Chain A
Amino acid sequence: MTTHNRPPPLGVCILEEQAPLTLAELCRACAVHAERIIELVEIGVLEPDGREPTRWRFGGESLYRARTVLRLQRDLSIDLAGAALALELLNEIETLRTRLRTLGMEY
């Protein structure tokens, strides 16, 4: 690969280690209306800091959690509670798989 025509490197930040996302930023990142995010908070999929929605701040994990639940809901036509349960179970499976791998056992 030639190095001449490369665009200059883009300044980046790691989402999980920067300032937490606001409700508006999370809505944009998930491409949904605020109502959908509020539902996710009400059912406990997301746990932002701050009392009321305008002051909510979402930690880095929120983006992955919100997008996964929204995808499961949309693609598998399951309700919110079901998708939230699926997320918890998927995370637990992932943790167990990682543990298996660190023990040298391939899953």
Chain B
Amino acid sequence: MQYKDYYTIMGVARDATQDEIKRAYRKLARKYHPDVSKETDAEARFKELGEAYEVLKDTEKRAAYDQLGTHWKGGQEFRPPPDWNTGFEFRGGGFTAANAADYSDFFESLFGRGFHTDGGAGLSSHANGEDHHAKILIDLEDAYQGTTRTITLRLPSADAQGHVINKERVLNVIIPKGIREGQHIRLRGQGGSGVGKGQAGDLYLEVKFRVHPLYRVEGRDIYLDLPVAPWEAALGASVKVPTLGGIVELKIPAESSSGHKLRLKGRGLPGDPPGECYVILVITLPPAVTEDAKDLYRKMAQTLSFNPRAKLGV
């Protein structure tokens, strides 16, 4: 288990006042909130921050944490001292944060495990299960063809003693053909189980696409950069283009320029109507490494009266 330096995580001094800690938390929470930040590690940072704040905002937990001393470094191998946690009393039997299951082993070794349920008090004998949410990362090809994917969900739940345990659940899910990024797959009855005669909740999977090496996606439309030789763009040509549905022939009109957008109708993600595939021409120069190639370039320079900077007035 690794020691966590909550003061460094929050960017505050060890003698920071409670007000300073609150201000630091609010500022960092805005910065790292997973809905706001696009950093790939935003979710992890936000959780870490929440854990640090959970300890430092609470004068009792903070005092207990400070008791460990100042000689520890973040990431260092840590074992709580045997007499630790004596003489402290934690109100309310531990912590009551919504994402308590996300806290680190380090946190749990110091403050124990607790479990918090929303509105758990006064449950009637029959209650519907909660709906659950998860994200699923798929390839663009999966959305194009439709597929079946096996996903593993870790679901924090309470055991008989009220401790948090992570239950693993394996689901085999059909990815419907033509699904778009940001859409949700709804699995009826796969959420939290109901109590008594209550129905089980639903599971919602939010779809994200893995970044594709060739294609970019906007809604149902697909964009592809297509390298072309200068003579193909100048004289026109018929070239092969990879699309999600396979290789197709594309006619490049004569006098095309770089950035020119050509449309392959209905070659985007399937749907009603299907998306388009847009091909963006990128004129690629042959390298001038051989003497022959250099001669050809020199000949063009001599023959063509071409000023690429005419529009700049120079």
Contacts and interface: CB of A to CB of B under 8 A. Distances in A.
Contacts of A9: 148, 172-174
A16 B118 CA distance: 28
Q: What interface size band does chain B fall in?
A: 35 or more
A104 interface: yes
Contact of B179 (A10, A14, A28, A77): A14
Interface residues of A, number: 37
Nearest to B206: A64
16 contacts: A6-B150, A7-B171, A10-B172, A10-B174, A12-B173, A14-B176, A14-B186, A15-B184, A28-B201, A29-B131, A60-B183, A60-B184, A63-B184, A72-B33, A102-B223, A104-B280
Q: Nearest 6 CB-CB pairs, A to B? A: A15-B184, A9-B172, A15-B186, A29-B131, A16-B183, A102-B223
B58 to A, nearest CB: 17
B130 A76 contact: no
Interface string A63-77: 110011001101111
Contacts of B187: 10, 12
A10 B190 contact: yes
A53 B225 CA distance: 48
B67 to A, nearest CB: 29
Contact of A102 (B33, B171, B216): B216
Interface string B164-190: 000000111110100100111111001
Contacts of A76: 26, 29-30, 33
A28 B185 contact: no
A8 interface: yes
Given A6-B172, A9-B173, A98-B218, A67 B133 contact: yes
Given A7-B172, A16-B184, A29 B202 contact: yes
Contacts of A6: 150, 170, 172
B206 to A, nearest CB: 8
A89 B284 CA distance: 38
* Residue among A29, A60, A63, A99 with the highest chain B CB neighbour number at 10 A: A29
Given A10-B171, A76-B33, A28 B131 contact: yes
Contact of A90 (B35, B206, B218): B35
B150 A1 contact: yes
Contacts of A63: 184, 204
Interface in A75-106: 75-77, 86, 90, 97-99, 101-102, 104
Interface in B179-230: 179, 182-187, 190, 201-202, 204, 206, 216, 218, 223, 225
Given A28-B128, A98-B218, A14 B183 contact: yes
A12 B98 CA distance: 29
A66 to B, nearest CB: 12
A11 interface: yes
